[in-house]
């Protein structure tokens, strides 16, 4: 890695000020993804601003009934917190499905949201990559693309977002709280990450210098029905080929509310809103779950080596919805 300066921020305002005044500066907390990128010259910051000791480590109820999770809460603490396990079980399951215990002990909520794709062409600087340098090309479009996107991709980039946690957060209407030089603002999780379009180098809608300070989970009456189903090549420490987060509110024999989010299939956590809308007012049965799965994947555009993801996603959606309809649990 190249030389850089290191400074420990003494407040959120200090961190934001430093990152705003130096556009080549980067924030670091747990460093579980950033340090890997530094080692292979993917990131070459002029300065690392350490935010790991700031006061953003609480999990607490707000006066509106939401659960506010500080950006520096570790993945382990998040997954094991009694409020999360009781009221947002799919989030706990999603976090525990990611990485290893050692990494979860260091990785933070904010860092999880900011982790970058694990596309092998992005990591191998012998290849061109539009995420690293604009207008150089995307070799994954014609190369080995088994793990790449089938939804929302562009000619510029077919990489996928690697986060398990973000898929669960998308399904439960989470909001990301950030702070910049203009003050605080809130970004719905489904709008936090970006599709690649012509600017795949930008993963999020953060403005320069903005720092994630918290993630807010709204009170949801149906969140306990949540399911997180992750399909991968091996049982541990592997990124999702396809993942699904679902939750259903069933009143009588009709679906009142539905949530369906996918991971491993797009540049961002993918909320299948048309499938959700289809399910409203329908019976919670196999036929309707099958139709919802078809709707969720109707715009899929598989590449040469990842066509299997289309059927795999449909099957995962059907299974997860069936478990959610029974009250949730491990799928």
The pLDDT value given to residue 39: 94
Sheet of 270-271: strand order equals 227-231, 242-251, 254-263, 270-271
The pLDDT value given to residue 119: 98
Distance CA 212, CA 217 (A): 15
Instruction: For residue range 142-193, list pLDDT tens digits in order.
Output: 999 999 999 999 999 999 999 999 999 999 999 999 999 999 999 999 999 9
Pairing of strands 67-70, 175-180: unpaired
The burial class, CB within 10 Å (0-12 / 13-18 / 19+), for 295 is buried
By the 8 A CB rule, do 203 and 197 touch? no
By the 8 A CB rule, do 258 and 279 touch? yes
Q: Where in the chain is CATH 3.30.43.10?
A: 1-54
Kindly indicate the confidence band of residue 272, based on its pLDDT and cuts at 50, 70 and 90: very high
CATH fold for the domain made of 223-325: Enolase-like; domain 1 (3.30.390)
Instruction: For residue range 235-259, list pLDDT tens digits in order.
Output: 888 999 999 999 999 999 899 999 9
Q: Which residues contact 256 (CB under 8 A, 6 or more apart)?
A: 222, 249, 250, 280
Q: Where in the chain is CATH 3.30.390.50?
A: 223-325
Instruction: For residue range 275-300, list pLDDT tens digits in order.
Output: 999 999 999 999 999 999 999 999 99
The pLDDT value given to residue 330: 63
Does the pLDDT value for residue 331 go beyond 50?
no
The pLDDT mean for the chain works out to: 97
Q: How many CB atoms lie within 10 A of CB 98?
A: 26
Kindly indicate the confidence band of residue 197, based on its pLDDT and cuts at 50, 70 and 90: very high
Half-sphere CA count of 45, side-chain side, radius 13 A:
20
Size (the chain), residues = 331
CATH 3.30.300.30 correct for 1-54: no
What is the three-state SS of the chain? CCCCEEEECCCHHHHHHHHHHCCCEEEECCCCCHHHHHHCCCCCCCEEEECCCCCCCCEEECCCCCEEEECCCEHHHHHHCHHHHHHCHHHHHHHHCCCCHHHHHHCEHHHHHHCCCCCHHHHCCCCCCCCCCCCCCCHHHCCCCCCCCCCCCECCECCCCCCHHHHHHHHCCCEEEEEECCEEEEEEHHHHECCCCCCCCCCECCCCCCEEEEEEECCCCCHHHCEEEEECCCCCCCCCCEEEEEEEEEECCEEEEEEEEEECCCCCCEECHHHHHHHCCCECCHHHHHHHHHHHCCCCCCCCCCCHHHHHHHHHHHHHHHHHHCCCCCC
Q: How far is CA 145 from the centre of its chain?
A: 20
């Amino acid at each position: 890695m190249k030389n850089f300066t290191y400074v420990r921020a003494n407040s959120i305002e200090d961190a934001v000020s430093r990152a705003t005044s130096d556009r080549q500066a980067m924030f670091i907390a747990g460093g579980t993804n950033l340090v890997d990128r530094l080692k292979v010259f993917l990131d070459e910051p002029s300065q690392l601003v350490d935010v790991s000791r700031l006061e953003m480590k609480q999990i607490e109820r707000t006066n509106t009934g939401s659960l506010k999770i500080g950006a520096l809460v570790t993945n382990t603490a998040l997954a094991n917190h009694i409020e999360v396990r009781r009221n947002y079980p799919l989030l706990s399951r999603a976090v525990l499905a990611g990485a290893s215990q050692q990494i979860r002990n260091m990785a933070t909520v904010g860092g999880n949201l900011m982790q970058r794709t694990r596309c092998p062409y992005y990591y191998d600087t012998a290849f061109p990559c539009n995420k690293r340098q604009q207008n150089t090309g995307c070799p994954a479009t014609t190369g080995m693309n088994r793990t790449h996107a089938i939804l929302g991709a562009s000619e510029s980039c077919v990489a996928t977002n690697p986060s398990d946690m973000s898929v669960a957060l998308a399904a439960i209407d989470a909001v990301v709280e950030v702070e910049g030089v203009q003050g605080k603002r809130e970004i719905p999780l489904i709008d936090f990450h970006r599709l690649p379009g012509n600017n795949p180098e930008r993963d999020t809608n953060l403005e320069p210098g903005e720092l994630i300070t918290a993630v807010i989970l709204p009170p949801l009456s149906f969140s306990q029905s949540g399911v997180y189903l992750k399909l991968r090549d091996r049982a541990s420490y592997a990124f999702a080929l396809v993942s699904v987060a679902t939750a259903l509110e069933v009143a009588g024999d009709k679906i009142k509310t539905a949530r369906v989010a996918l991971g491993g299939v797009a540049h961002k956590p993918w909320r299948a809103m048309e499938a959700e809308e289809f399910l409203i007012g329908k019976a919670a049965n196999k036929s309707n779950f099958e139709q919802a799965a078809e709707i969720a994947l109707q715009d899929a555009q598989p590449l040469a080596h990842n066509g299997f993801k289309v059927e795999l996603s449909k099957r995962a959606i059907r299974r997860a919805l069936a478990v959610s309809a029974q009250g949730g649990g491990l799928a």
